[in-house]
C-alpha cells in the first residue's frame, strides 16, 4: 500500500516579515521570495515527507482550509490570538482536524484557548532551543496526532502476543511450583482481560485478534469457575481470604465514618469492571480515585450479594439472626432487597458506631428518582452516611434481552460499554457526584454483581 501523503496547513502571521527580509537580501529577488520556505521547521517537515501549505493571514488560511483538503493545521499563537478568533474559525470549518499551536509564551491564556478549541498539542518555540531538536519534536507531534490510530492497528497485535506469552510463562511457573494460584492472581488476570477489552474496542481491523482474546477469556472463565468451586469454602473460614461482599462496609465505609468524613456510599447494581473503567475517567477532574477489588459471595444474585453488602452477613447468618429481614421472592412483595436500610443500620450498631445525622438511604430507578435525590442533597447541610442504590445498569442489562430496539442498539459488549459511558456523562447521577465533590463528600462506589452476555441460548 502506498504511504499516505499528509497535507499540513501552516498559518503564521510572521511569515510575511521573514519573506520580506529574504526578498531584500542580495541573493533573492521579490519574485523568488514567495517560493522560498521561510521557516526551518517547515523545511524539516517537508524533508520528513509532509506537504506544507503556508498562509500569512487568518483569512488566507481559512480560505485554503475551505477549498482544499488538509490533515492538520499548525497555527502560530500570534495569529490565533482571541481577538483574531482564528481557532474558532478553524473549528467552524472543520470540527475534528488536529491542531498544533505554536507559541513562545507559557501563559494561562494559551492554555485556555487550547482547551476551549480542542488543540491537540502546544509547541513552545524557544529562541534558545536548537532548531534541529525542536523541529524533530514538532514532526513527532504531528506524526503522533496523524498516525496514532494506524500505528495502534499495527502494533497492538504484537503487544497482545507479547503479553500473552509472558502470562503463559508465569502460569507455567505457577504450575511447576505446585500451586493453584491465589485470589490476587485471578484479580490480576481479570483486570488484564478487561483492559484489553477496552483497547480492542477502538480498533477496527483486528478481528482475528479479537477472536483470540475471546478464546482466552472463555478458557479463563472455565479455569476460574474450577478455582472458585475448589476454594470458596476455605474463604469462609480462612484468615487469608480475599475481601468479600460481607466485608465491604467494614473495610471501606466504616473507617471513613470514624475519621469524621461525610460519606456517600453508592451501590451500582450489575456494574462490571469494564463499565466502571468507562465511567472512571469522567471523575478524574473531581476526585482522587483509589481502586480496590473484592469477590462477591455466592450466590451472586442481587438478593444475596447486595444484602450481604448492607448487612455484613452471609445469607445463612442473615436468615438466622434477622429472619424477619431475610427476604425471599414471594407474591406480596416486589422487592427482595426491601430491608437494605435496616440491614445497614444494624451493621453499624453491631460495630458500635453511631451515625449523626442519621443514616439516609435512597434507591434510584429512573430520572424522577435522580431528581428527588439531587434535590435532597442540595437542601441538606451535612450528612454522616447516605447510601444510594442505582438500578439503571441492572434494568438495562435485563431489558436488552427483551426489547428489540435495545438489541439493535447494544449488539455486543463494546456497544454496551459505550452506552454506559454516554449514560453516565449525561445523567443526574454525574451531577450528584459533582455536588458531592464540591462539598468534600467522600464517595465509596461499588457493585453487587456483574453480568454475562450469553452467546448460546438454552432451554430447560
Q: What is the 3-state secondary structure (H, E, C) of the chain?
A: CCCCCCEEEEECCCHHHHHHHHHCCCCCCHHHHCCCCCCHHHHHHHHCCCEEEEECCHHHHHHHHHHCCCCEEEEECCCCCCCCCHHHHHHHHCCCCCEEEEECCCCHHHHHHHHHCCCCEEEECCCCCCHHHHHHHHHHHHHHHHHHHHHHHHHHHHHHHHHHHHHHHHHHHHHHCCCCCCHHHHHHHHHHHHHHHHHHHCCCCCHHHHHHHHHHHHHHHHHHHHHHHHHHHHHCCCCCCCCEHHHHHHHHHHHHHHCCCCEEEEEECCCCHHHHHHHHHHHCCCCCCCCCCCECCCCCCHHHHHHHHHHCCCHHHHHHHCCCCCCCCCCCCCCCCCCHHHHHHHHHHHCCCCCCCCCEEEEECCHHHHHHHHHHHHHCCCCCEEEEEECHHHHHHHHCCCCHHHHHHCCCHHHHHHHHHHHHHCCHHHHHHHHHHHCCCEEEEEECCCCCCCCCCCCC
Residue 2 — pLDDT band, cuts 50, 70, 90? low
- pLDDT per residue as tens digits for the range 108-123: 788 888 888 889 888 8
Mean per-residue pLDDT, 270-276: 98
* Neighbouring C-beta atoms of residue 438, cutoff 10 Å: 9
Mean per-residue pLDDT, 176-180: 45
Is 1 a residue whose pLDDT tops 80?
A: no
Task: Identify the bridge partners of residue 84 per DSSP, sorted by sequence position.
Answer: none
Q: Which residues of 173-208 are buried (b: 16+ CB within 10 A; e: fewer)?
A: eeeeeeeebebeebbebbeebbebbeebbeeeebee
Read off φ and ψ for residue 127, nearest 5 degrees. Answer: -65, -25
- Give the integer Cα–Cα distance in Å for 32 and 29: 5
Lowest mean pLDDT among 54-63, 148-157, 239-248, 315-324: 148-157
pTM over 0.85: no
- pLDDT per residue as tens digits for the range 55-71: 988 899 999 999 999 99
Lowest mean pLDDT among 21-35, 64-78, 132-146, 269-283: 21-35
More confident residue, 108 or 261: 261
Residue 42 — pLDDT band, cuts 50, 70, 90? confident
Read off φ and ψ for residue 72, nearest 5 degrees. Answer: -160, 155
Residue 436 — pLDDT band, cuts 50, 70, 90? very high
More confident residue, 27 or 226: 226
Name the nearest CA neighbour of 360 among 345, 379, 375, 338.
345
How long, in residues, is the chain? 460
pLDDT of residue 334: 56
Mean per-residue pLDDT, 163-188: 68
pLDDT of residue 20: 47
> What percent of the chain shows pLDDT beyond 90?
58
pLDDT of residue 329: 60
pLDDT of residue 328: 67
Is 358 a residue whose pLDDT tops 60?
A: yes
Task: Identify the bridge partners of residue 123 per DSSP, sorted by sequence position.
Answer: 102
The set of residues, in sequence order, having a beta carbon less than 8 Å from that of 23 and lying 6+ positions away, is 29, 30, 32, 33
Residue 126 — pLDDT band, cuts 50, 70, 90? low
Is 168 a residue whose pLDDT tops 80?
A: no
pLDDT of residue 458: 65
Mean per-residue pLDDT, 138-153: 85
- pLDDT per residue as tens digits for the range 309-350: 999 999 999 999 999 998 666 655 556 688 999 999 999 999
pLDDT of residue 108: 77
pLDDT of residue 30: 47
Is 23 a residue whose pLDDT tops 50?
A: no
Report residue 48 as a C-alpha cell. 520528513
Identify whether the C-beta of residue 52 lies closer than 8 Å to the C-beta of residue 11. Answer: no
Mean per-residue pLDDT, 176-192: 77
Is 34 a residue whose pLDDT tops 80?
A: no
Name the nearest CA neighbour of 124 among 77, 79, 69.
77
Amino acid at each position: 500500500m502506498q504511504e499516505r501523503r499528509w497535507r499540513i496547513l501552516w498559518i503564521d502571521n510572521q511569515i510575511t516579515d521573514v519573506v520580506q527580509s529574504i526578498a531584500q537580501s542580495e541573493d533573492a529577488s521579490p519574485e523568488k521570495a514567495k517560493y522560498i520556505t521561510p521557516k526551518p521547521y517547515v523545511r524539516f517537515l517537508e524533508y520528513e515527507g509532509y506537504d506544507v501549505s503556508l498562509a500569512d493571514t487568518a483569512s488566507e488560511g481559512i480560505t485554503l482550509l475551505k477549498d482544499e483538503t488538509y490533515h492538520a493545521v499548525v497555527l502560530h499563537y500570534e495569529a490565533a490570538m482571541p481577538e483574531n478568533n482564528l481557532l474558532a474559525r478553524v473549528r467552524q470549518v472543520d470540527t475534528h482536524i488536529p491542531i498544533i499551536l505554536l507559541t513562545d509564551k507559557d501563559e494561562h491564556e494559551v492554555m485556555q484557548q487550547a482547551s476551549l478549541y480542542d488543540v491537540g498539542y502546544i509547541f513552545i518555540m524557544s529562541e534558545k532551543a536548537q532548531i534541529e531538536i525542536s523541529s524533530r519534536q514538532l514532526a513527532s507531534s504531528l506524526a503522533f496526532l496523524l498516525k496514532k490510530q494506524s500505528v495502534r492497528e499495527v502494533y497492538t497485535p504484537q503487544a497482545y502476543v507479547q503479553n500473552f506469552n509472558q502470562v503463559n510463562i508465569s502460569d507455567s511457573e505457577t504450575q511447576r511450583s505446585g500451586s493453584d494460584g491465589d485470589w490476587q492472581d485471578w484479580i490480576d488476570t481479570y483486570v488484564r482481560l478487561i483492559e484489553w477489552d477496552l483497547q480492542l474496542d477502538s480498533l477496527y481491523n483486528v478481528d482475528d485478534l479479537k477472536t483470540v482474546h475471546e478464546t482466552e477469556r472463555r478458557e479463563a472463565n472455565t479455569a476460574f469457575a474450577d478455582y472458585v468451586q475448589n476454594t470458596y469454602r476455605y474463604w469462609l473460614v480462612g484468615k487469608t481470604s480475599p475481601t468479600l461482599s460481607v466485608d465491604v462496609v467494614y473495610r471501606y465505609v466504616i473507617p471513613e465514618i470514624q475519621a469524621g468524613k461525610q460519606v456517600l456510599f453508592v451501590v451500582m447494581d450489575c456494574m462490571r469492571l469494564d463499565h466502571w473503567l468507562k465511567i472512571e475517567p469522567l471523575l478524574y477532574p473531581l476526585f482522587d480515585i483509589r481502586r480496590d477489588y473484592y469477590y462477591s459471595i455466592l450466590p451472586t444474585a442481587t438478593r444475596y450479594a447486595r444484602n450481604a453488602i448492607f448487612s455484613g452477613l452471609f445469607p445463612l447468618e442473615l436468615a438466622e439472626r434477622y429472619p424477619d429481614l431475610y427476604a425471599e421472592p414471594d407474591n406480596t412483595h416486589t422487592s427482595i432487597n426491601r430491608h437494605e436500610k435496616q440491614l445497614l443500620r444494624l451493621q453499624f450498631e453491631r460495630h458500635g458506631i453511631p451515625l449523626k445525622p442519621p443514616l439516609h438511604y435512597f434507591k434510584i430507578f429512573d430520572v424522577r428518582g435522580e431528581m428527588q435525590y439531587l434535590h435532597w442533597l442540595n437542601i441538606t447541610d451535612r450528612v454522616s452516611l447516605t447510601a444510594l442504590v442505582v438500578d439503571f445498569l441492572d434494568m438495562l442489562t435485563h431489558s436488552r434481552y427483551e426489547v428489540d430496539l435495545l438489541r439493535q442498539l447494544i449488539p455486543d459488549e463494546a456497544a454496551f460499554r459505550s452506552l454506559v459511558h454516554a449514560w453516565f456523562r449525561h445523567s443526574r447521577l454525574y451531577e450528584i457526584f459533582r455536588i458531592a465533590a464540591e462539598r468534600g463528600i467522600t464517595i465509596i462506589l461499588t457493585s453487587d454483581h456483574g453480568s454475562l452476555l450469553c452467546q448460546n441460548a438454552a432451554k430447560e
